[in-house]
Amino acid sequence: MKAHKKIDFAELSVVWEFYEKNGLNASVANFIVNIIRSKVLVVGSGQGVFCSELIKAGFEVTGLEREQEMAVAALERRGMESVVIDFFDFLSPIRYETIVLSTGLIDDLTALDDQYLDSLLVHCKRLLASDGKLVIAFFNHTPWIDYAESLGLYDKPSRNQLLWDYRDDLSLGIKSLKKSSSSALKMEYYEGVLREHAKMIVNIGHMYNEKTGRNPRSFIGKYTGFYPYDLQDRSKSNLRCRIRANGFCLEKDLLFNAGDTGVFVCGC
């Protein structure tokens, strides 16, 4: 059973660009533009990668972001203004044609929490036009995550420190990681992904050091594990069930980014 820890987006904000290729990226936006209408509310707009794709495509977009650090970075990096607020506190006289719940709003635990899901979905209904669309994004459980978990990289981010310690010889670092992981699955297929992950951890360390002047080791140990957010099948089923129970119909059930990002498109 993996330990579950909420992601600290404010802390991760400094190195967020390394995480942006997953989740709601340009490829998801390219698909979504064909099925949505303005006005669009993006909840959990982060540093604006998804919102800015929609804006480029001509949509009228409001990005909501709870963490000040993420919103400041969205402005600095992409010139994108966000409304800094928790979604549950956001009220508006406007009814949106589209609401997008970003990866980060629903995780494997909250997807099993009917009370949380119901309050989230009821709040979306309140803010949506009567024929609006609700787009729900989430991280999806993949075989790569199983592999990463078996190496301890997922639920014990401190294992990533070992990759930083071996930054001058990553092959040796990976070897040592595998040696000290008793239950590592044999998944040759993911060797390349593991190498990319190791390089990413090292790059994160360098960027953190450049931006803060601090030694990145403890930051890596605390924050750079995999997303503890991926939805397992049973949590996805529960989410589908609550979507229907709250009067939405699930129109599309999609996967992006090699299966790592799930998207449910719901009508009212």
- Using CA atoms, how far residue 139 sits from 13, 70, 149, 189, 231, in Å, is 18, 19, 15, 21, 6
Which tokens in the block code for residue 220? 């890596």
Among 55, 65, 128, 197, binds ligand SAM (CB under 6 A): 65
At closest approach, how far in Å is the CB of 62 from ligand SAM? 12
Longest alpha-carbon distance in the chain: 58
The answer to whether residue 41 forms part of the interface with ligand SAM (CB under 6 A) is no
Integer Cα distance of 267 and 243 in angstroms: 10
Between residues 70 and 204, which has the closer beta carbon with respect to ligand SAM?
70
For residues 92 to 131, the per-residue mask of contacts with ligand SAM, x marking binding by CB under 6 A and - elsewhere, is ----------xxxx--------------------------
Are 180 and 159 within 8 A, CB to CB?
Answer: no
Q: Which residues pair with 119 in a beta bridge?
A: none
First to last CA, the chain: 36
At closest approach, how far in Å is the CB of 66 from ligand SAM? 4
Between residues 43 and 135, which has the closer beta carbon with respect to ligand SAM?
43
Q: 144-173: which residues touch ligand SAM (CB under 6 A)? A: none
At closest approach, how far in Å is the CB of 226 from ligand SAM? 13
At closest approach, how far in Å is the CB of 172 from ligand SAM? 32
SS3 state at 180: coil
The answer to whether residue 43 forms part of the interface with ligand SAM (CB under 6 A) is yes
Q: 2-21: which residues touch ligand SAM (CB under 6 A)? A: 9, 20
Measured N-to-C along each axis, helices 233-245 and 114-127 cross at an angle, to the nearest 10 degrees, of 50
The answer to whether residue 67 forms part of the interface with ligand SAM (CB under 6 A) is yes
Are 211 and 14 within 8 A, CB to CB?
Answer: yes
Q: Which stretch in 30-38, 61-69, 171-179, 238-246 sits in contact with ligand SAM by CB under 6 A?
A: 61-69
Element holding 227 (H helix, E strand): none
SS3 state at 169: coil
Looking at the chain, how many residues does it have? Answer: 268
SS3 state at 127: helix
Among 32, 48, 141, 194, binds ligand SAM (CB under 6 A): 48
Query: Which parts of this chain interact with ligand SAM (CB under 6 A)?
Result: 9, 20, 23-24, 43-50, 64-67, 70, 86-87, 102-105
